[in-house]
């Protein structure tokens, strides 16, 4: 199994005042960066687990335990955000099933 993708975990931060615009904005907090193996979730597994087919679901496997309380993750610095659908912890690997946030 190749760990060839960079996964960055973020937590939604509280609102902060932008002094130039005078408005409150959310500022995400970077919690962790780790390498992972990322694959698409198989069609049979998706239907069995979720009861429906979602084309944006991915399986993310990491050696390290993901941070507690993360809100979303991004892969390789892209602009797509993924939220957790399911987590499974095994002895060696930690597996997350994530779906794209639209």
Residue 67 domain boundaries: 5-100
Extract long-range pairs of 37-43: CB within 8 Å, 24+ residues apart: 37/1, 37/2, 37/3, 37/4, 37/5, 37/61, 37/62, 38/5, 38/7, 38/75, 41/97
Q: Which of 44, 41, 43 is nearest to 85 (CA)?
A: 41
What pTM, to 2 d.p., does this model score?
Answer: 0.79
Indicate the number of domains in the chain. Answer: 1
pLDDT at position 87 is: 86
pLDDT at position 73 is: 96
pLDDT at position 47 is: 55
**CATH classification at residue 61:** 2.40.10.270
pLDDT at position 6 is: 97
pLDDT at position 93 is: 87
Q: What is the mean pLDDT of each run of 10 residues along the chain (102 residues)?
A: 94 88 89 94 62 74 92 94 88 88 84
Angle at the Cα of 4 (from 13 to 63), degrees rounded to 5? 65
pLDDT at position 10 is: 96
pLDDT at position 49 is: 60
């Amino acid at each position: 199994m190749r760990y060839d993708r960079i996964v960055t975990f973020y937590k939604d931060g509280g609102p902060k005042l932008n002094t130039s615009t005078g408005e409150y904005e959310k500022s995400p907090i970077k919690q962790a960066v780790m390498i992972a193996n990322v694959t698409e979730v198989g069609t049979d597994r998706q239907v069995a687990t979720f009861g429906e087919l979602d084309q944006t679901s991915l399986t993310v496997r990491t050696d390290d335990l993901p941070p507690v309380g993360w809100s979303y993750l991004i892969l390789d610095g892209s602009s797509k955000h993924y939220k957790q659908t399911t987590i499974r912890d095994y002895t060696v690997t930690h597996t997350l099933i994530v779906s794209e946030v639209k």
